[in-house]
Amino acid sequence: MTESGIDRLLIVRPEDRPAYWNGTSQIVIQAEAGDTDGRYGLIVSHAPAGASPPLHVHRDDEAVWVAEGQVRFRCGDREFTLGPGSYTMLPRGVPHSFLVEGDTGAVMVGLLSPGGGEGWFADAGVPVTGPNPPPPDLERVNRANQQYGNEFVGPPMTAPDQPS
């Protein structure tokens, strides 16, 4: 390593990394643990209106910055809505989820620390090859959950005027 650390410089453009379908969302892993000496993984999520993963827990902290859209989060017993430019940190081991509200989608940047958990999105998802997501492969998702220490502990979030 040089004194200046320039050998750790990482430049990733949108076209440099593949996108994966995870449910109805497209996820791009911008930085993997191998890129950051295990410090963190960085993902960008393009989630359509109504997107919500199951309530889940995992072994890494997950910081989320909302770049576009309105997103309602649940973390433990708390629910809150964030818009563009807002940030939250979802602690490891605490059940959490989100719901993209409104008529437009959301773009979120997620930082997982320590790194490694970002690999779940590639292993549970499937590469984007067209405009529509394929049906979920629950065996693939369950294998990835086991590998990465993730657990689904409840259903996805629903809009307040919809049944859960």
Rg (CA), the chain: 16
**Residue-level length of the chain:** 164
pLDDT at residue 126 is higher than 80: yes
- Rounded Cα distance between 78 and 50, Å, is 19
pLDDT tens sequence across 34-75: 999 999 999 999 999 999 999 999 999 999 999 999 999 999
Question: By the 8 A CB rule, do 79 and 110 touch?
Answer: no
Average pLDDT, the chain: 94
pLDDT score for 160: 77
Category of 109 on φ-ψ map: left (φ > 0), alpha (ψ -120 to 50) or beta:
beta
Q: How many CA atoms lie within 13 A of 102 on its CB side?
A: 12
pLDDT score for 1: 44
Name the pTM for this structure. 0.92
**Superfamily the domain 25-128 falls into:** Jelly Rolls (2.60.120.10)
pLDDT score for 3: 53
Q: At 6, is the pLDDT very low, low, confident or very high (cuts 50, 70, 90)?
A: confident
- Rounded Cα distance between 60 and 56, Å, is 12
Domain boundaries, the chain: 25-128
